[in-house]
Structure 1
């Protein structure tokens, strides 16, 4: 069975971001694809300290202790796809989600592109504005990792304020459902051709500001 790991960057386990993720998950599950949600936003994830240990050790781990990042990395590595979900804070993703993504994707890159050729998508919930910027921020992690990205029939942004209000955004709900359908299709297409995926080229060296 194929599997998608969904990352909920919201501090609210049952907030609007969780509802948006579930809309996509419903469509994936209809196609027999398992979805596991990892709650990130309610945990204390610190940012990358640019120590470079993950690149030196090559053990697929971040050396920072005290959170579940390394467990999440392995779950994403074993999954067929990833769905990133975040609320909008000051016209971008929230800080905890940024810290999680910076560290997880740096470890993945430094250890042979662990997330390469998976199917990746992002979805955003916002009260008023900043949704496009937040969506682009998350998409850049997916693009950098050489993931295959499904689209919907509009930007993957749902509007709402209080928990559950995004479900009243009829167009947003429809966009999320189309994203789920297209993600399922792409997952199946990639899975069918996984033996024919191209090998990677030598990767560009990634340097963090010291």
Structure 2
């Protein structure tokens, strides 16, 4: 019996508002496909900002800042798919999500790119403006981590201002539904491919860190 597929959704909103409502909708869609979708609300975590050490480019070990980020990274590594969902604040990505991208990416994910070949989906929530810009930033972050990006036709951007408005954006939620369904299809397809081929290789070891020529790479080669 195969394990139930798992999607972890990173919620970058400071509030239990429209972004959370969109992810509850996504979870309901996933449940119909027998997929467990767990939302990780960054607002409830102990998450420090990047510290003053400034040795990230030379440090061959994970970040030394002690907070809840390692636990979230472990959830992502164990999952089959990842959704990055964030609202637009000040015409850009909400600060919680930006902090998470910096802390998780620089502190943990860049060494061996453990999210490689996991299925990724992107959702942005906005009053109207800059939804595409935030969607694009989160998309580039998924590609940087060598994930398999799944779309929904139109980007899964949901328009909302006041609490409850997301539920009124029929087109936006339709795109979220398509996104989750297509992520599930891709997760199932990859699982079948791995079963038939017996292959689970991802990237060659030499590609584990793209910062060629930096001191970090030289230190890693000496390990």
Which segments of structure 1 move beyond 6 Å, counting only runs of 4 or more? none
- 2:142 and 2:115 mapped to 1: Cα distance? 9
Aligned residues: CA RMSD: 2.0
Partner secondary structure for residue 6 of structure 1: strand
- 1:4 and 1:109 mapped to 2: Cα distance? 18
2:40 to 38, 41, 45: 38
The 5-angstrom pairing of residues 1-210 of structure 1 reads 1-13=4-16, 15-43=17-45, 45-49=47-51, 50-52=54-56, 55-57=59-61, 61-65=62-66, 67-194=67-194, 195-196=198-199, 199-201=202-204, 202=207, 203-205=209-211
- 2:74 and 2:58 mapped to 1: Cα distance? 14
TM-score (norm 1): 0.88
> 1:12 touches 1:42 (CA, 8 Å); kept in 2?
no
Give the unaligned 5+ runs of structure 2: 215-223
Tell me by how many angstroms 1:105 deviates: 2.0
Q: CA distance change for structure 1 residues 151 and 54 in 2, over 3 Å: closer, same or farther?
A: farther
- 2:15 and 2:202 mapped to 1: Cα distance? 40
- 2:188 and 2:11 mapped to 1: Cα distance? 24
Partner secondary structure for residue 157 of structure 1: strand
Q: CA distance change for structure 1 residues 80 and 170 in 2, over 3 Å: closer, same or farther?
A: same
